[in-house]
Chains A and B, each alone.
Chain A
Amino acid sequence: MTTVEETPPVSAPPALKALPGWSTVRRLLSSPSGAIALVVVVALVFCAVFAPLVAPYDPVQIAPRIRFQGPSLEHWLGTDQLGRDVLSRVIFGTRVAFKVALSGTAAALLLGLVLGIVAGLGKSWIDGVLLLVCDAMRSLPMILFALAVVAIYGPSMATLITVITFSMAPGYFRVVRNQVLVLRNMDFVVASQSMGASLGRVAITHLVPNLIGPIIVLIAMDIPAVIGIESGLSFLGQGIQPPEASWGTMLSDGYSFLRQAPHLAIASGLPVIVATIAFTFLGEALRDVLDPKSSRGR
């Protein structure tokens, strides 16, 4: 997954080649769980990006005559209650899951990063207000908040992404803010300011590059949760709406026809499990690799 492997462009100006890019990936591959996780994640991303090319059939093409078929050579994962190809739907579901998870976390990260830096560097009353809002957000049970927003704005992908953004942002905000409070008193930040660097300059040249390591790990750890939220809400009928394919809606269908066609539930439940585990392992492997103490020995 590109966002995980590459260091962000903000840290690029001083040096592109020596930043933790390829060496990080190499060391990631040297641990078995990290290598497997990376391969699975890359495969899932490939499926998501090239879904129309990978999928053997149109995921919404109905064929009532071949309903509830088990796995066969034509339909590797069988067909569902409307005769649609399950494999194609799983592949397109990957696309939906990643679209929601990636854009949701990216927006949450941006929000958390900007507000966290503002809170960490700014006046104490700004910090206080932002902390208050953040803690208020975090005190809301996620699923209740999501259901309330969906109730108001109606279920759609945009609503889903908005819900995810606002429920993940406070976590990033907290991490960024606390890191900034530590960093702002480090000598290299004080030195930069004593040279006359503006706060914006300090934020871009010193804070963001030093924040991004822990945040990348956090994101990799959070993506499974976000995929879970998307599937969960779709399962409840509050997320992605039929006929669009989503792991959650497919799981919901599979649940309805569990006796008639158990392969439906299995085929849509497995990818959720695989994606979740792969991202969790990737996050843990990244944490080990990006840990400054372990990288110092090189």
Chain B
Amino acid sequence: MIPLLEVNDLVVRYPAGSLFGALKGEPRKVTVLAGVSLKLNQGETLGLVGESGSGKTTLGRAIGGMTPMSSGSITLAGVGATGRKDGFWKEMRRNVGFMFQDPMAALDPRMLLSASITEPLAVTGTGRAERRRLSVDLLREVGLSPDFAARYPHQISGGQARRVTVARALALRPRLVIADEPTAGLDLSVQGELLNLLNTIQADSGVSFLFITHNLAVARHVTDRIAVMYLGRIVETARTADIFARPAHPYTRALLSTHSTDTSAGLLKGEVPSLRRRPGGCEFHTRCPIAADRCRSEAPNERAVATDHLVRCHFPLVPASEATEQAPLNHQPVVRSLA
């Protein structure tokens, strides 16, 4: 099966640092994404988790065409890959919807919601009457009454603004929606409603989601697979149930421990290292509880510890031999809708 979205060895560098810093030997560029590869199937929800600064948002923005790529490639099934001469991004934009982290900031304060929602349609040249009709449809689809069309962003609540950005992301009937922290800043009941809404939309349209979040409970609820990011790299990818049942990377285990109730302290020590001074070897060794000499000198390659379970670690917590024996391990119930 051809994946819908394929990202290969994506690197994003930002220019940064002062001339003074350069004189001290600091690099002028910061590598925010250090070679990220991922695959996303049609109708699937891939969760992107990690601490702040791990590059989740940058990855989403790069796929959405908002951050220039330094190298690597993005392929969308049926559209082609970056570097295609005749306007890859133009086609890409028709197929990818984006939801920003802060829904209020993503809506023009001086623009009616109907205009904001249908802005992607306006850009692609849909007529005004058609847009007005579609804005009502879209509002209904995200569970808002049509009179929201004539309101301004400051007249609605955060949860409603979130729904409006969902409507806008869906305006072009994309095959992929990138949702950056869609539950941030919402209280629990509104979060639940929103996640159910996204589930319904996926069940109805078969859209794929790239779901960026640091909330593991949310990720567990909505994702099919999870990619864990650390310092601009994906350190572990697996089906959601496997991530929670058998985390193979020490970083994943640490993240899970901060999320679960039994806080086994001491799993994560210290701070996230500066992107400007990336540690040598395995970049997690400065905080890893099981780091060995090898970790300090040699960067681990990605390896499979089970089917669909990739990890970037010299000493994965689930050894490859053991993985097969552990097959009937207690499965976590995962709430999923049919895609």
Contacts and interface: CB of A to CB of B under 8 A. Distances in A.
Interface stretch (B99-107, B187-195, B241-249): B99-107
Interface string A93-133: 00000000000000000000000000000000000000000
Contact of B124 (A11, A187, A196): A196
Interface in B96-139: 98, 100-102, 105-112, 114-116, 119-120, 123-124
A186 B105 CA distance: 7
Nearest to A194: B66
Contacts of A210: 108-110
Interface of A: 11, 14-15, 18-19, 186-188, 190-197, 201, 205-206, 209-210, 292, 295-296
Contacts of B123: 192, 195-197, 201
Specify which of A188, A192, A197 lies most central, judged by the most chain B CB atoms within 10 Å of its CB.
Answer: A188
19 contacts: A187-B105, A187-B106, A190-B66, A191-B98, A191-B119, A191-B168, A192-B123, A194-B64, A194-B66, A195-B93, A195-B120, A196-B89, A196-B90, A196-B93, A197-B119, A205-B108, A209-B110, A292-B109, A296-B154
Interface in B258-308: none
Contacts of B115: 14-15
Dominant SS among interface residues on chain B: loop
A15 B111 CA distance: 8
Nearest to B107: A188
A212 to B, nearest CB: 8
B335 interface: no
Contacts of B93: 194-196
Contact size range, B: 20 to 34
B20 to A, nearest CB: 20
Nearest to A11: B110
A192 B124 CA distance: 12
B115 to A, nearest CB: 4
Nearest to B155: A298
Given A18-B152, A187-B102, A192 B119 contact: yes
A196 B171 CA distance: 14
B338 interface: no
A186 B66 CA distance: 12
Contacts of B124: 196
B327 interface: no
Given A188-B105, A196-B89, A196-B93, A209 B111 contact: yes
Nearest to A292: B109
Nearest to A190: B66
Contacts of B43: none
Given A187-B102, A195-B119, 8 more contacts: A18-B152, A19-B110, A191-B106, A191-B168, A194-B64, A206-B108, A209-B108, A295-B154
A107 to B, nearest CB: 25
A186 B111 CA distance: 14
CB-CB nearest 6 A-B residue pairs: A14-B115, A209-B110, A187-B105, A187-B106, A188-B108, A15-B112
B150 interface: yes
Nearest to B100: A187
